[in-house]
Structure 1
Amino acid sequence: MTNEYKIYLDNNATTKIDHNVLKTMLPYFTEFYANGNSSHLDGLVVKDSVENAIFQIADLIGAQENEIIVTSGATEALNLAIKGLAAASSKKKIITFTTEHKAVLDTCKYIENQGFEVDYSGVKSDGTINVENLKDSVTEETLLVIVMMSNNETGTVHDIKAISEVAHANGALLLCDTTQAIGKIAINAEDLGIDMLTLSAHKFYGPKGIGALYVSNKSRIKLSGQIHGGGQQRNLRSGTLNVPGIIGLGKACEIAKSEMQNDETRIGKLRDYLETELLKIDGTFVNGSVKNRIYNTTNICFPGVWSEQLIIALGNISVSSGSACSSVTSKPSHVLKALGLSDEDALSSIRFSLGRFTTLEEIDFTIKKVTELVHHLTA
């Protein structure tokens, strides 16, 4: 393997579209291009395909088709869930956590300006949530608890069922951002007690620009639509449906359901091997929980080595210093700071996120290259 060979280890930022997903989508650009809301035969054929795709989405999370609202991605889904619920409720308190994605934190900041009280709760040093502390925070005045299933930077997985039980015991709802978990681990929204759930296709080998919001029928949630127009999707999300995107999301869900176990076994072994070898470098350590995390992610601190410098030096090996949405700044990661890291250690940390197309040869090359560069940069 040469230095010109591209190695992509930034799958938490986005993934390569699965060939079978792309193949399934293509006819909906060129042959079945009618508007699915049209009443003619071409439109009804497309509507049939869309309904099948929505069944595939619902099936992956143990939901019903009428509980799925298609969006442009998880960010829009989170905005619809938070703002839409807030606009239709008399309760004024929301609880979330300091390690959440900016799509949640920034939306909550907006809600604060609308008169809501938002509690940004801290996490333990390994990034997990202290459920006992949460019990003291959730009251009868709490409208919503917002938590991601798996952290995008560290991979830390939270005990969603325990958190939902605390929320429900006080009459609050639970919004779970599954963007980094969907397609990787089995999710049954009803069994976990999730009232609303968000996801994006491009995080698990589907196309960009498409996602979904699950809203539980059982929870009897009232949402106020945030995009107005033609009244599509029960007046909750107006706009002509992105048919190729929906077809792609549905296919990605179908593939994930059949390949999930194989992916976990193979990718998990590669991640463990990469991590074990990189931790042989003096002073290195893993950020976040080692016990409770998603199998494709490791976030490693290389003390004394600026992550930006290492990323540039790695050239065609694509890794990250944190969330893709925040990587344009040189500020330390808010997630790593919430875990108690110093600015220096946070700015010396690299996220490696593996995927379905990662190979052992690529991991061997990455171990060799990272080890050489760290030794050179600390010499």
Structure 2
Amino acid sequence: MRRYDRPLRLLRDGQIRYTGPISPPILHFGYDGWSSPRDLPMERDDAGWVAEVPTSGRHVVDCVVRSARSGSCDNNDGADYRLWIGLDPVDAHTHVRAPGGGTLGFDSLRTAAFAGGMTHALVSWTDNDFVEIAAEATPWLTQLVWVRPGGPDPDDVRRRLAAGCAGLKLHPAYDGYPADVPGLDPYLRVAQEARVPVTVHSAPGPADPDLIRRLAERFPAVRFVLYHTYLGPPEGRRRAARHAVALPNLYLETSWCRSAEAERLIDEVGPDRVLFGSDAATDGPDHYVRRPPNIEMTENYNTGLLRLAQRLAPPVFRAFAEANARKLFGLTRVTPVARPAAVRRARRRRRPSL
């Protein structure tokens, strides 16, 4: 089975490694929203092609890769690449339902994640078998098991959790049941036994935060994540935040929330129980970089994340964009190993200045 890993990585010492199809490559890059773009030839090493860029005082490297010979370009299907400096961000809310492009296609999710610089993502859809195949082929994807009253069998859920799935996904609005229905109890007992979180779509009607709060009160040992916090008018987000303040087993996720709203939720609930998520790729491959902006017509995800990185204290932003999801869902970080220092110094002497 083919593995779908990231073609561009930023290593801890400022090296960027490229393992995509362009050869020989030139790195075309800028910082924090494509400021001061420039070109830098990449050099061959045992694991691909590398270039080293200054990173001090910057949040992200925005880049594409160009061929030094033909002029062809690897620009991530037109969405460009983003690499976070000193951070391995996690998207706590994505979906995939089919191969290829289009809405919720695997290729669209991959392009969107690379455009946002995500190094890991939690993924779900109603077809658990297809999501399992996608996650097995993709080192940076971890599956959540989609459940609804009456299916799948709780023993199947146990098997999937034992095989590496990180939690459960409930969507009361999509599947048509009230969020506090007793038919969910067999699955919540499985989650409690396995000590995994339960993510719940939160929105008006059957997925209202008041109903999700009842689940959290009924199963206080289970940690619940309100996806979107509330996909609706601001009043619902106020209620969701109040519930999270009152109950320590409620967490908030901020897909489709403006950066100012995410900052307000962090201030109100605390930095340890608010997670970044995007709902990718419901807006296709340019989900993170959509023009016009797709978050309340004021921001896209890349703009909002950069604003939060600039406004929040570094430990708070790290908790929001990475650490909270890793801790809650038990996700490990895989960091590529840099070249030995002696090799870096030798290459640095031969490299032209920026």
Tell me the TM-score range normalised by the shorter chain: 0.3 to 0.5
Report the TM-score, using the length of structure 2 for normalisation.
0.33
**Higher helix content, 1 or 2:** 1
Larger RCO, structures 1/2 (Cα 8 Å, 6+ apart): 1
Structure 1-normalised TM-score? 0.31
Decide which structure has greater strand share: 2
